[in-house]
């Protein structure tokens, strides 16, 4: 029994002083000093020797073993012709949306659901309105649409206030449809996730609205007709 305990203790000591763990600690310490306000969700060796993959929220960074150098960009496998970063970012985005939860989105559920997309929308955006005017077509294709707000004019803007009023309405789906048609009820205030939606959109690299995020976490910028979207989702 004593021998087993000694061997176990030795293995634990070896693990605690392994270069891998030491490097992870160095990276974590360096990142904490460089960007203290950013959460570090995971640190693990990247596909490229000498680099660590760092997941922070909906972003992926690459750090040197000592944490001195930090890279942000796309990592490609030239032989396999694969964007490694984008495939992993899809997983990160999906996890972020799951964490947000449907209870903090406005959901138009397809009767015979085949696919689920999350759409960052601006009530006053022309193509956002076009997309929503065809919501029945998306639902008929089996596509459930989960809306998150991203008022492009920013916090405190008229679009931002409209988003809050829609969220605080007794029937959010009905209120959103009316707002997309230009009819917004009296301004309302309540606890709402609009700021969280905006922060999440920014972390996804938002460049415009609408922005569609598929079930796999892939991003489709701009308006995509229902039939075309169904084909894209079926090919994922």
The rounded percent of the chain whose pLDDT value lies above 90 is 56
Compute CA distances 133 → 40, 77, 112, 178, whole Å.
Answer: 40, 41, 20, 10
Lookup: tokens for 196 = 């969280």
| Chain centroid to CA 108 | 19
Cis peptide upstream of residue 188 (ω within 30 degrees of 0): no
Find the CATH number of the domain harbouring 50: 3.10.450.70
User: Which residue out of 23, 124, 125, 146 is catalytically annotated?
Assistant: 125
What is the DSSP-derived secondary structure letter of residue 179? Answer: H
pLDDT band for 22, please (50, 70, 90 cuts). low
Question: What three-state secondary structure class fits 219?
Answer: strand
Q: What is the mean pLDDT of the chain?
A: 86
Q: Specify whether 152 is catalytic.
A: yes
Other beta carbons less than 10 A from residue 116's beta carbon: 19
Judge whether 12 lies within some domain: yes
Across the range 153-178, mean pLDDT stands at 96
Lookup: tokens for 152 = 């492009």
What's the confidence (pLDDT) of residue 3?
37
**Residues 8 and 112 reside in one and the same domain:** no
Whether residue 199 has pLDDT greater than 90: yes
Judge whether 56 lies within some domain: yes
Phi, psi values for residue 60, rounded to 5°: -125, 130
DSSP bridge pairs for 119 = 147, 212
User: Which residue out of 23, 93, 124, 128 is catalytically annotated?
Assistant: 128
Lookup: tokens for 188 = 């309302």
Question: What three-state secondary structure class fits 37?
Answer: coil
CA angle 15, 17, 22 (to 5 degrees): 105
Tally of domains in the chain: 2
User: Which residue out of 23, 93, 122, 146 is catalytically annotated?
Assistant: 122
What is the rounded distance in angstroms from the CA atom of residue 133 to the CA atom of residue 120? 15
User: Which residue out of 28, 104, 152, 172 is catalytically annotated?
Assistant: 152
Contact 27, 67 (CB under 8 A): yes
Whether residue 230 has pLDDT greater than 90: yes
pLDDT per residue as tens digits for the range 96-114: 999 999 999 999 999 999 9
**Residues 141 and 212 reside in one and the same domain:** yes
**Residues 69 and 107 reside in one and the same domain:** no
Q: Specify whether 168 is catalytic.
A: no
pLDDT band for 35, please (50, 70, 90 cuts). confident
Q: By residue range, what is the domain housing residue 202? A: 102-235
**Residues 220 and 159 reside in one and the same domain:** yes
């Amino acid at each position: 029994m004593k021998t087993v305990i000694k061997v176990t203790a030795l293995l634990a000591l070896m693990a605690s002083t392994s270069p891998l763990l030491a490097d992870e600690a160095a990276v974590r310490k360096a990142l904490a000093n460089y960007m203290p306000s950013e959460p570090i969700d995971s640190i693990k060796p990247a596909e490229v020797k000498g680099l660590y993959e760092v997941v922070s929220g909906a972003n992926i960074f690459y750090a040197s073993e000592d944490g001195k150098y930090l890279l942000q960009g796309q990592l490609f496998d030239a032989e396999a012709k694969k964007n490694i970063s984008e495939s992993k970012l899809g997983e990160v985005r999906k996890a972020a949306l799951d964490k947000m939860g449907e209870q903090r989105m406005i959901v138009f559920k397809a009767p015979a659901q085949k696919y689920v997309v999350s759409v960052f929308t601006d009530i006053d955006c022309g193509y956002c309105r076009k997309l929503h005017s065809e919501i029945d077509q998306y639902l008929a294709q089996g596509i459930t649409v989960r809306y998150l707000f991203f008022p492009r004019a920013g916090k405190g803007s008229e679009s931002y206030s409209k988003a809050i009023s829609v969220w605080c309405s007794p029937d959010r789906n009905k209120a959103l449809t009316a707002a997309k048609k230009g009819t917004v009820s009296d301004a309302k205030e309540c606890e709402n996730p609009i700021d969280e939606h905006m922060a999440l959109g920014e972390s996804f690299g938002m460049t415009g609205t609408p922005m569609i995020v598929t079930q796999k976490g892939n991003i489709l910028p701009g308006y995509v007709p229902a039939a075309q979207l169904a084909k894209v989702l079926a090919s994922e």
